[in-house]
């Protein structure tokens, strides 16, 4: 019995915070199809690698970072029959998050690469508008019930810096006092370092690191 040929790719929704804005990594395609259009970074899975290996390789090629240094998780699969004009291509998308990632370097088949504010990204190549929207919604939803927001922070951070992450990802303002009360009241979310900083301005602020909690109890309702 014969089977129709198809290829498998991985695509990356890479999010970071730069200059006070939530940004996604995009590349300008250097080859057809969609030559000169902006797209999410990604590529074909090689015959000798698994999906996670391919995603980690693409992440390293586009950002210079190893997968173990950033939050990387599988998002979902996309397999519409007409999503790629070259042939039937199924892609497995991944979501990657990290604080203030460096200026990207275009990969072998890209003409350019840049960080772009997520609200400014429209009409990406293939079905990458849908993939980006799904990645954003995954990140926004997980901030409600997991410590994912700390993936946007450095090893040590203030409550104000963490609040800014929530505000940028959710795109809503949050009351500083209510937010401080909630995040410091979630068991295992934050661990005090014992140090303070004045980088937020004003009085010295307590520094924290991510705690051991894997889930937030109680959760943080979006925009609350």
> 130 or 99, which is more confident?
130
Is residue 122 within 8 Å of 24, Cβ to Cβ? no
Residues 32 and 123 in one domain: yes
Nearest to 78 by CA among 106, 102, 42: 42
Is position 121 within any domain?
yes
Is position 22 within any domain?
yes
Give, to the nearest 10 degrees, the angle between helix 159-170 and helix 176-185.
110
Bridge pairing between strands 7-18 and 21-29:
antiparallel
Is position 220 within any domain?
no
Number of structural domains the chain divides into? 2
| Residue 98 phi, psi (nearest 5) | -165, 155
Is position 105 within any domain?
yes
Instruction: Report the CATH number at residue 196.
Output: 1.10.10.10
Say how far residue 196 (Cα) sits from the centre of its chain.
28
Residues 115 and 28 in one domain: yes
Assess whether pLDDT exceeds 90 at residue 6: no
**Token pair for 169:** 């990802």
Mean pLDDT of 85-105: 87
Assess whether pLDDT exceeds 60 at residue 108: no
Instruction: Report the CATH number at residue 38.
Output: 3.90.79.10
Nearest to 165 by CA among 183, 188, 185, 181: 183
- Using a 10 angstrom Cβ sphere, with 0-12 exposed, 13-18 middle and 19 or more buried, the burial of residue 173 is exposed
pLDDT at 64: 74
> What are the pLDDT digits (tens) for 173-205?
999 999 999 999 999 999 999 999 988 777 899
Distance linking the first and last C-alpha atoms of the chain: 56
Residues 91 and 156 in one domain: no
What's the domain range around 195?
A: 151-210
Mapping DSSP to helix (H, G, I), strand (E, B) and coil, where does residue 161 land? helix
> What are the pLDDT digits (tens) for 135-181?
999 999 999 999 999 999 999 999 999 999 999 999 999 999 999 99
Residues 58 and 96 in one domain: yes
Beta bridge partners, 207, equal none
Is residue 154 within 8 Å of 99, Cβ to Cβ? yes
């Amino acid at each position: 019995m014969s089977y129709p040929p198809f290829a498998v790719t991985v695509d990356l929704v890479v999010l970071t915070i730069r200059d006070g804005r939530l940004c996604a990594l995009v590349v300008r395609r250097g080859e057809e199809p969609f030559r000169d259009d902006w797209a999410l970074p990604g590529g074909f899975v090689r015959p000798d690698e698994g999906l996670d290996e391919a995603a980690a390789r693409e992440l390293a090629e586009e950002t210079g970072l190893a997968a173990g240094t950033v939050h990387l998780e599988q998002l979902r699969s996309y397999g519409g029959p007409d999503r790629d004009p070259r042939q039937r291509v199924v892609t497995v998308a991944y979501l990657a998050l990290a604080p203030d990632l460096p200026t990207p370097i275009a990969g072998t088949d890209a003409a350019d690469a840049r960080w772009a504010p997520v609200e400014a990204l429209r009409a990406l190549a293939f079905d990458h508008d849908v993939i980006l929207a799904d990645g954003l919604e995954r990140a926004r939803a997980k901030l409600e019930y997991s410590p994912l927001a700390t993936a946007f922070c450095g090893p040590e951070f203030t409550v104000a810096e963490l609040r800014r992450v929530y505000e940028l990802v959710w795109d809503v303002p949050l009351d500083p006092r209510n937010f401080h009360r909630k995040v410091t009241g979630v068991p295992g979310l934050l661990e005090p370092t014992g140090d303070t900083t004045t980088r937020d301005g004003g009085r010295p602020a307590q520094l924290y690191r991510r705690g051991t909690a894997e889930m937030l109890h109680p959760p943080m309702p979006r925009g609350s």
